[in-house]
């Protein structure tokens, strides 16, 4: 997620961004190292999977986000967009799913932080649930404390984290992969062929299509910056294309670098990145660099988490200001931070993190939480894609500095493809991976129940909405 600066009227500030700067916003929002191991298990065929994800999700959400952000830039993100198309109930549901998605996303990121830090201490700690939970709680409540000082503090940490924790490590992994091939080290992948690049589609591999949605989620966030360009109609689609190429190339090459070094049956989804780096550095004769790199990636993960922590919480504050939630959710401190929501999400996220203590393996907990994250994101994106279609009919005259080309055929092609890809990801996201040892019914039931519980509260809030929830014009209740 990316944070844009705002003016006094709450709209994006009118800074002029060049094409490359706009593209880098997308790269910062989407590129995430922690997703690489989950795709590395498929070797060369990850190329085909990534192409499929780009066609069915990455490109459509980039275009839809651009049109919606330039047409309705008044703030609120998906809440404003979906509300325009489907009313308050739809907008509230989209925003709440985006926020509650974070409740299950936080623990998966925290597990990545904890398992990565273990490589700076003792790698075996990554398999110790009590170590994992302890570090996760320290990181989670620590970043919540940072968020207490407001969006500006979180954004500064996030900007550093993108460079330290995503871009530099991804480039380094790619460079080490190139060195690995040139040094004559053993490569666990078979020879590259066109057939090897094609994804094998069956019941055991389909769940990883949902991982692609999680990987590319966030591309629509860059649409908030479309109005800050000199010529959105030309610069924005070019920037989206450039950023998509950078993201796909870095992701594919770094994933393949990991897949070349570590056999799929030995890859740990939470700590696979550090596994690869450990292999690389030991083979290069510089194993002492493993610990510093682990600290660097851990720091990048913590800083990135801090940047994401406050945004959705502030979104709920907007909904609360409109009287759709109890006054508790509207309480802020002198830094403008929604302190009540921050504490509530930290408590819930901590309870969800207990899965890492009670499930038999970290990988199983990691996958269940990731699946719930995808299901909630799919609800958000189906509503976004449906909104971009509906608003072409209900508000055809609203100025849109960027419009999806091709008229109504183009809007239906992009929106329809996005809805199909997202709905497909929702369905396959319910399929348990082959290594999940517990009953499939237990897995599906756990994912659906968790998704339902995290998506239904807006309907409950609106059902029992009270006039006293609305803040008076003076700002004091």
Give the tens place of pLDDT for each residue, 304-321.
777 677 767 777 777 887
Taking each helix axis as running N to C, give the angle between helix 311-321 and helix 290-309, from 0 to 180 degrees, rounded to the nearest 10.
10
Contact 183, 261 (CB under 8 A): no
How many angstroms separate the CA atoms of 470 and 253, rounded?
51
pLDDT, residue 475, reads 56
Summarize pLDDT for 192-241 with one digit per residue, the tens. 888 888 887 777 677 667 777 767 887 766 555 555 666 666 676 677 77
What does the longest C-alpha to C-alpha distance in the chain come to?
72
Average pLDDT value for residue range 98-112: 82
How many angstroms separate the CA atoms of 158 and 161, rounded?
5
pLDDT, residue 4, reads 43
Reported as a pLDDT band with limits 50, 70 and 90, residue 151 is: low
What CATH architecture does domain 19-462 belong to?
Up-down Bundle (1.20)
SS3 388: helix
Average pLDDT value for residue range 411-423: 93
Lowest-confidence region among 104-118, 156-170, 216-230, 311-325: 216-230
Residue 13 predicted with pLDDT over 70 = no
Q: b/e map of 362-383 (b: 16 or more CB within 10 Å)?
A: bbbbbbbbbbbbbbbbbbbbbb
Type and span of the H or E element at 104: helix 78-118
**pLDDT cut 90: percent of the chain above it:** 12
237 closest CA partner among 406, 386, 115: 406
Average pLDDT value for residue range 246-268: 81
- Percent helix / strand / coil, the chain, rounded to 5: 75, 0, 25
How many angstroms separate the CA atoms of 363 and 369, rounded?
10
Contact 40, 215 (CB under 8 A): no
pLDDT, residue 7, reads 42
405 closest CA partner among 95, 66, 171, 54: 66
Most confident region among 83-97, 323-337, 426-440 by mean pLDDT: 83-97
Domain limits, the chain? 19-462
Reported as a pLDDT band with limits 50, 70 and 90, residue 389 is: very high
Residue 444 predicted with pLDDT over 90 = no
pLDDT, residue 232, reads 63
How many angstroms separate the CA atoms of 199 and 215, rounded?
17
How many angstroms separate the CA atoms of 435 and 431, rounded?
12
Average pLDDT, the chain: 79
């Amino acid at each position: 997620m990316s944070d844009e600066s705002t003016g006094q009227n709450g709209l994006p500030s009118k800074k002029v961004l060049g094409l490359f700067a706009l593209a880098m916003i997308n790269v910062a929002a989407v590129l995430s190292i922690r997703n690489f191991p989950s795709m590395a298990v498929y070797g060369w065929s990850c190329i085909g999977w990534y192409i499929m994800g780009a066609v069915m999700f990455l490109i459509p959400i980039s275009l839809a986000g651009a049109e919606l952000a330039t047409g309705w830039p008044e703030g609120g993100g998906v809440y404003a967009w979906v509300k325009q198309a489907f009313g308050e109930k739809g907008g509230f549901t989209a925003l709440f799913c985006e926020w509650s998605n974070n409740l299950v996303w936080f623990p998966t990121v925290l597990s990545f932080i904890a398992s990565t830090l273990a490589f700076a201490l003792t790698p075996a700690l990554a398999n110790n649930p009590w170590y994992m939970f302890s570090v996760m709680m320290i990181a989670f409540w620590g970043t919540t404390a940072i968020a207490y000082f407001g969006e500006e503090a979180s954004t500064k940490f996030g900007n550093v984290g993108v460079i330290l924790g995503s871009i530099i490590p991804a480039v380094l992994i790619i460079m080490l992969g190139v060195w690995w091939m040139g040094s004559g080290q053993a490569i666990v992948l078979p020879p590259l062929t066109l057939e090897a690049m094609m994804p094998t589609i069956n019941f055991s591999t389909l769940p990883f299509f949902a991982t692609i949605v999680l990987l590319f989620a966030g591309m629509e966030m860059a649409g908030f910056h479309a109005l800050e360009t000199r010529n959105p109609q030309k610069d924005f689609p070019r920037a989206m294309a450039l950023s998509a190429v950078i993201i796909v190339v870095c992701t594919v090459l770094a994933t393949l670098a990991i897949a070349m070094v570590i056999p799929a049956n030995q890859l740990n989804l939470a700590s696979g990145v550090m596994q690869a780096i450990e292999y690389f550095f030991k083979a290069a004769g510089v194993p002492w660099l493993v610990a510093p790199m682990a600290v660097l990636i851990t720091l990048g993960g913590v800083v990135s988490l801090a940047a994401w922590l406050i945004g959705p919480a502030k979104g709920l504050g907007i909904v609360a200001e409109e009287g759709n939630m109890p006054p508790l959710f509207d309480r802020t401190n002198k830094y403008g931070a929604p302190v009540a929501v921050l504490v509530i999400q930290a408590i819930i996220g901590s309870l969800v993190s207990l899965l890492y203590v009670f499930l038999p393996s970290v990988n199983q907990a990691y996958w269940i939480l990731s699946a719930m994250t995808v299901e909630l994101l799919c609800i958000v994106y189906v509503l976004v894609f449906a909104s971009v279609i509906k608003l072409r009919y209900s508000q055809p005259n609203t100025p849109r500095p960027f419009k999806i080309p091709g008229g109504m055929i183009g809007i239906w092609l992009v929106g329809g493809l996005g809805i199909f890809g997202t709905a497909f990801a929702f369905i396959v996201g319910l399929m348990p991976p082959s290594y999940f040892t517990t009953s499939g019914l237990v897995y599906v039931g756990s994912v659906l129940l968790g998704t339902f519980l995290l998506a239904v509260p807006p309907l409950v809030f609106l059902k029992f909405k009270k006039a006293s929830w609305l803040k008076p014009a003076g700002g004091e209740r």
